[in-house]
Amino acid sequence: MTRSEDTRVEEPSAPATGGASPWRYLPLAVLLLALAAVWFSGLTRYLSFEFLLKSRTDLDRLIAANLPLALLTYAAIYILVVALSVPGALILTIAGGFLFGGWTSGAVTVVAATIGATLVFLAARTSLGQTLAHRAGPWMERLRGGFAEDAASYMLFLRLVPVFPFWLVNLAPALLGVSLRTFVWTTLVGVLPGTFAYSLAGAGIDSVAAAQQQAYDACIQAGRESCTLSISPQQLVTRELILAFAAIGLVALIPVAVKKLRMRGKRVKSQGGSKPMPEPR
């Protein structure tokens, strides 16, 4: 049985006689160093609803002055957040909808998320993919083979169902030999529902933001020291939304289930047809 180009697993090339070049690990090292720099510099504190609400007026003025540049800046920040696996992509998605509108922000976010995820995938595959493939035991080879048979369906399921962290779904396919083409298109399609759902939710939080601002102002006027201006993601990420994503993800696995049922049926028929005829008495 031949595998389609979209779902095939890329076979590792033969190891070089002189050993793996240390330059192979450069892309992953760059990402790790950049992550450490961002983390210890304290830049992650800006990925919060508190910063968004307090800076809303200034951000709106910058966006009105140059919308294309603002969108490019937002996309660049989103790519970095995803590529460096910095916590805060969900907040950034909602913030994009809040500032730019759900549909515009959703489209930009889908492209940016795909680019950032692809950077992680390429860095992991270049640095670790071939090395792990050459040193993998039978268990790893079986896992790679099973994933290869329906890579597209499995990738769509992992993207659509928010069970595993986004960074893990970017990293694991590189170690399981998923082709770049399959990774890119399944990521692009898989992040569409969640991205637009959160972007549109962000576009509609004006009333929530206004209520939080009033509560914050009242707290300040009362002279309290523990006043916070924020929005809880739980107010936007509902149980019904998660269940909807899970249902969509299960649909992506239907081809896998159908294929396995057909293979099981063929095995049963072949075993039934190979039974020896009873000898006449």
Q: What is the pLDDT of residue 4?
A: 46
Q: Locate 161 and state its tokens.
A: 């169902």
pTM across the whole model: 0.74
Per-residue confidence (pLDDT) for residue 72, from 0 to 100: 97
For residues 168 and 194, give the distance between their C-alpha atoms in angstroms, rounded to a whole number.
Answer: 17
* H-state helical runs in the chain: 26-41, 49-54, 56-65, 67-83, 89-100, 102-124, 130-135, 138-149, 151-160, 166-175, 180-190, 192-203, 206-221, 239-252, 254-273
Minimal CA–CA distance to 130: which of 267, 35, 21? 21
Place of tokens 């595959």: 125
d(CA 182, CA 174): 11
CB atoms within 10 A of CB 90: 17
Cβ–Cβ < 8 Å for 32, 76: no
Q: What's the start-to-end Cα distance of the chain, in Å?
A: 43
Find out whether 120 and 83 touch, Cβ atoms under 8 Å.
yes
**pLDDT at site 110:** 96
What Cα–Cα distance (Å) separates residue 232 from each residue in 1, 109, 280?
Answer: 51, 21, 79
Q: How far is CA 127 from the centre of its chain?
A: 20
* 49: nearest Cα among 209, 243, 217, 215: 209
Mean pLDDT for back-to-back runs of 10 residues, the chain (281 residues): 47 46 79 88 85 88 96 96 90 92 94 96 80 56 72 86 84 86 93 87 76 74 73 60 62 63 62 55 53
C-alpha closest to that of 176 among 157, 161, 154, 160:
154
User: What is the full DSSP assignment across 115-152?
Assistant: HHHHHHHHHHIIIIIHHHHHH--HHHHHHHHHHHHTHH
DSSP state of 30: H
Q: What angle do CA 244, 247, 249 make, to 5 degrees?
A: 110
CA angle centred on 152, ends 176 and 139, rounded to 5°: 30
Q: CA-CA-CA-CA torsion for 66, 67, 70, 75, nearest 10 degrees?
A: -150
